[in-house]
Structure 1
Protein backbone atom coordinates (compact mmCIF):
# COMPACT_ATOMS: atom_id res chain seq x y z
CA UNK A 1 0.00 0.00 0.00
CA UNK A 2 1.23 3.49 -0.79
CA UNK A 3 -0.19 6.58 0.85
CA UNK A 4 0.15 10.12 -0.46
CA UNK A 5 -0.74 12.88 1.98
CA UNK A 6 -1.12 16.29 0.31
CA UNK A 7 -1.16 19.91 1.41
CA UNK A 8 -1.73 21.03 4.96
CA UNK A 9 -2.15 17.45 6.16
CA UNK A 10 1.38 16.68 4.97
CA UNK A 11 2.69 19.68 6.88
CA UNK A 12 0.81 18.57 9.99
CA UNK A 13 2.31 15.08 9.73
CA UNK A 14 5.79 16.47 9.09
CA UNK A 15 5.64 18.34 12.41
CA UNK A 16 4.95 15.12 14.34
CA UNK A 17 7.54 12.77 15.83
CA UNK A 18 8.13 9.79 13.48
CA UNK A 19 6.27 7.25 15.63
CA UNK A 20 3.21 9.52 15.95
CA UNK A 21 3.27 10.09 12.19
CA UNK A 22 3.35 6.35 11.54
CA UNK A 23 0.52 5.71 14.01
CA UNK A 24 -1.62 8.45 12.45
CA UNK A 25 -1.16 7.11 8.92
CA UNK A 26 -1.75 3.48 9.93
CA UNK A 27 -4.82 4.37 11.99
CA UNK A 28 -6.29 6.15 8.98
CA UNK A 29 -5.47 3.22 6.70
CA UNK A 30 -6.97 0.74 9.17
CA UNK A 31 -10.16 2.78 9.30
CA UNK A 32 -10.50 2.43 5.53
CA UNK A 33 -8.99 -1.03 4.97
CA UNK A 34 -9.33 -2.95 8.21
CA UNK A 35 -7.19 -3.76 11.23
CA UNK A 36 -4.54 -5.60 9.18
CA UNK A 37 -3.33 -2.21 7.94
CA UNK A 38 -1.87 -1.62 11.41
CA UNK A 39 0.78 -4.26 10.62
CA UNK A 40 2.61 -3.38 7.39
CA UNK A 41 5.35 -5.66 6.12
CA UNK A 42 7.62 -2.65 5.71
CA UNK A 43 7.54 1.11 6.24
CA UNK A 44 9.20 3.90 4.29
CA UNK A 45 8.51 7.62 4.40
CA UNK A 46 9.26 10.25 1.79
CA UNK A 47 8.93 13.91 2.78
CA UNK A 48 8.49 15.55 -0.62
CA UNK A 49 8.72 19.01 0.89
CA UNK A 50 12.29 18.22 1.94
CA UNK A 51 13.44 16.95 -1.48
CA UNK A 52 15.48 19.74 -3.15
CA UNK A 53 14.90 18.34 -6.63
CA UNK A 54 11.10 18.40 -6.85
CA UNK A 55 10.11 21.60 -5.10
CA UNK A 56 7.75 19.95 -2.64
CA UNK A 57 5.53 18.03 -5.03
CA UNK A 58 5.32 14.30 -5.56
CA UNK A 59 5.52 14.83 -9.32
CA UNK A 60 8.04 17.24 -10.81
CA UNK A 61 6.61 19.32 -13.66
CA UNK A 62 8.30 22.33 -15.26
CA UNK A 63 5.26 24.63 -14.98
CA UNK A 64 1.49 24.65 -14.61
CA UNK A 65 -0.14 23.32 -17.78
CA UNK A 66 3.03 21.62 -19.04
CA UNK A 67 1.22 18.32 -19.52
CA UNK A 68 -1.33 19.94 -21.83
CA UNK A 69 1.29 19.80 -24.59
CA UNK A 70 1.15 16.00 -24.53
CA UNK A 71 -1.75 15.09 -26.81
CA UNK A 72 -0.61 11.56 -27.62
CA UNK A 73 1.70 8.94 -26.12
CA UNK A 74 5.36 9.20 -27.20
CA UNK A 75 6.19 7.68 -30.58
CA UNK A 76 7.93 4.29 -30.29
CA UNK A 77 11.59 4.14 -31.33
CA UNK A 78 11.68 0.93 -33.31
CA UNK A 79 10.73 -1.85 -30.92
CA UNK A 80 11.11 0.43 -27.88
CA UNK A 81 7.77 1.69 -26.56
CA UNK A 82 7.80 4.43 -23.95
CA UNK A 83 5.80 3.94 -20.79
CA UNK A 84 5.73 5.62 -17.43
CA UNK A 85 3.49 7.76 -15.32
CA UNK A 86 4.67 10.85 -17.22
CA UNK A 87 3.43 9.43 -20.55
CA UNK A 88 -0.18 8.80 -19.64
CA UNK A 89 -3.20 10.97 -20.36
CA UNK A 90 -4.72 10.51 -16.91
CA UNK A 91 -3.28 10.10 -13.42
CA UNK A 92 0.09 11.57 -14.39
CA UNK A 93 2.51 11.27 -11.49
CA UNK A 94 0.56 8.49 -9.80
CA UNK A 95 0.82 4.70 -9.76
CA UNK A 96 -2.46 4.49 -11.67
CA UNK A 97 -0.87 6.48 -14.50
CA UNK A 98 2.14 4.19 -14.60
CA UNK A 99 -0.09 1.11 -14.79
CA UNK A 100 -2.26 2.67 -17.51
CA UNK A 101 0.83 3.63 -19.50
CA UNK A 102 2.38 0.17 -19.11
CA UNK A 103 -0.80 -1.52 -20.29
CA UNK A 104 -0.93 0.81 -23.30
CA UNK A 105 2.67 0.07 -24.26
CA UNK A 106 2.27 -3.68 -23.73
CA UNK A 107 -0.83 -3.78 -25.95
CA UNK A 108 1.19 -2.29 -28.80
CA UNK A 109 4.04 -4.79 -28.59
Structure 2
Protein backbone atom coordinates (compact mmCIF):
# COMPACT_ATOMS: atom_id res chain seq x y z
CA UNK A 1 0.00 0.00 0.00
CA UNK A 2 1.01 3.55 -0.58
CA UNK A 3 0.77 6.22 2.08
CA UNK A 4 -0.60 9.76 1.93
CA UNK A 5 0.46 12.11 -0.80
CA UNK A 6 -0.46 15.44 -2.29
CA UNK A 7 0.35 17.57 -5.26
CA UNK A 8 -0.46 21.15 -6.13
CA UNK A 9 -0.81 23.27 -9.24
CA UNK A 10 -0.36 27.06 -9.38
CA UNK A 11 -1.77 29.32 -12.10
CA UNK A 12 0.91 32.01 -12.71
CA UNK A 13 -1.43 34.37 -14.65
CA UNK A 14 -3.38 34.87 -11.41
CA UNK A 15 -0.26 35.74 -9.34
CA UNK A 16 -0.85 38.86 -7.25
CA UNK A 17 2.61 38.85 -5.66
CA UNK A 18 3.77 37.83 -2.20
CA UNK A 19 2.70 41.13 -0.64
CA UNK A 20 -0.91 39.86 -0.75
CA UNK A 21 0.05 36.90 1.46
CA UNK A 22 1.36 39.38 4.02
CA UNK A 23 -2.05 41.08 3.95
CA UNK A 24 -3.89 37.81 4.66
CA UNK A 25 -4.94 36.93 1.11
CA UNK A 26 -4.07 34.06 -1.21
CA UNK A 27 -1.41 35.44 -3.59
CA UNK A 28 -2.02 32.96 -6.43
CA UNK A 29 -4.75 30.55 -7.51
CA UNK A 30 -3.67 27.09 -6.39
CA UNK A 31 -5.22 23.63 -6.59
CA UNK A 32 -4.19 21.04 -3.99
CA UNK A 33 -5.01 17.37 -4.56
CA UNK A 34 -4.72 15.09 -1.51
CA UNK A 35 -4.80 11.30 -1.74
CA UNK A 36 -4.25 8.83 1.08
CA UNK A 37 -3.88 5.36 -0.40
CA UNK A 38 -3.50 3.86 3.08
CA UNK A 39 -7.28 4.32 3.43
CA UNK A 40 -9.28 1.65 1.56
CA UNK A 41 -11.91 4.25 0.62
CA UNK A 42 -9.50 6.85 -0.78
CA UNK A 43 -9.15 6.20 -4.51
CA UNK A 44 -7.98 8.57 -7.21
CA UNK A 45 -11.56 9.16 -8.35
CA UNK A 46 -12.54 10.10 -4.78
CA UNK A 47 -9.49 12.12 -3.73
CA UNK A 48 -9.95 15.52 -2.10
CA UNK A 49 -9.36 18.66 -4.17
CA UNK A 50 -8.97 22.09 -2.59
CA UNK A 51 -9.00 25.31 -4.61
CA UNK A 52 -7.39 28.44 -3.17
CA UNK A 53 -8.46 31.38 -5.33
CA UNK A 54 -6.23 34.44 -5.71
CA UNK A 55 -7.43 37.26 -3.48
CA UNK A 56 -9.49 35.00 -1.18
CA UNK A 57 -8.74 35.12 2.55
CA UNK A 58 -5.59 33.11 3.28
CA UNK A 59 -6.37 29.42 3.83
CA UNK A 60 -10.00 29.69 2.74
CA UNK A 61 -10.14 26.88 0.23
CA UNK A 62 -13.11 25.46 -1.60
CA UNK A 63 -13.46 21.68 -1.53
CA UNK A 64 -14.48 19.35 -4.34
CA UNK A 65 -13.29 16.22 -6.11
CA UNK A 66 -11.64 15.59 -9.47
CA UNK A 67 -14.93 15.77 -11.38
CA UNK A 68 -15.86 19.13 -9.84
CA UNK A 69 -12.40 20.51 -10.52
CA UNK A 70 -12.53 19.40 -14.15
CA UNK A 71 -16.04 20.78 -14.64
CA UNK A 72 -15.04 24.24 -13.35
CA UNK A 73 -11.39 24.38 -14.45
CA UNK A 74 -11.97 27.31 -16.84
CA UNK A 75 -13.55 29.37 -14.04
CA UNK A 76 -10.76 28.43 -11.64
CA UNK A 77 -8.02 29.38 -14.10
CA UNK A 78 -9.66 32.65 -15.10
CA UNK A 79 -10.46 33.85 -11.55
CA UNK A 80 -8.81 37.18 -10.71
CA UNK A 81 -8.78 39.51 -7.72
CA UNK A 82 -12.16 41.17 -7.31
CA UNK A 83 -14.05 38.61 -9.39
CA UNK A 84 -17.24 37.22 -7.92
CA UNK A 85 -16.75 33.60 -6.87
CA UNK A 86 -19.24 31.66 -8.97
CA UNK A 87 -17.96 28.23 -7.97
CA UNK A 88 -20.42 26.95 -5.38
CA UNK A 89 -18.24 24.39 -3.59
CA UNK A 90 -18.18 24.28 0.21
CA UNK A 91 -15.50 26.34 1.92
CA UNK A 92 -13.00 24.21 3.83
CA UNK A 93 -9.70 22.40 3.70
CA UNK A 94 -8.82 19.21 1.86
CA UNK A 95 -7.33 16.40 3.88
CA UNK A 96 -3.69 17.37 4.00
CA UNK A 97 -1.54 14.27 4.55
CA UNK A 98 0.76 14.47 7.57
**TM-score, normalised relative to structure 2:** 0.23
**TM-score, normalised relative to structure 1:** 0.22
**Higher percent of residues as helix:** 1
- Higher relative contact order (CA closer than 8 Å, sequence separation 6+): 2
**Higher percent of residues as strand:** 2
